[in-house]
Amino acid sequence: MANLPLRMSEKEMEDLRERYRELIGFVPPRIQARTDLLARLDPDTLRLQEELRARLMYPACFDVKTAQLMLFGMLLMDLSDAARLHAIAARRAGATYEELSAVVGLAFLFRGLPAANRGAEVIQEILRMEEEGRL
């Protein structure tokens, strides 16, 4: 991307990315790519995306843990790999493994064994990451 100069300050881009670090502990690669590209091509769209994300990701009527547990379940229903990120965020916000497992159980009711298998895989990955000190 060296041929495309930044059209927003490094500080502003880092401030946007810091929101992800606070929530999940790191900036996921796809978010890194989107923020890097739009900071160079269309910073106004990036700002709008991030403003809308911040508004909807943190509704006043839910605490962060509850919102992240719901997002984990919603994404698990689609077998989305982003479910892992929201499970990590829920855990960082105080969710227990029992709560994560209960969400997997709910997803199983309406999505079946693929959701149960993916959910168990995600939870075990988070356990390993915590044991290794990566979370």
Judge whether residue 2 has pLDDT over 80. Answer: no
Judge whether residue 101 has pLDDT over 70. Answer: yes
| pLDDT confidence band for 126 (50 / 70 / 90) | very high
Cβ-proximal residues to 21 (8 Å cutoff; 6+ apart), any chain:
27
| 3-state SS class at 3 | coil
Amino acid 121: pLDDT:
97
Q: How far apart are CA 135 and CA 128, in angstroms?
A: 9
Measure the CA angle with vertex 23, ends 89 and 128; round to 5°.
45
pTM more than 0.85: yes
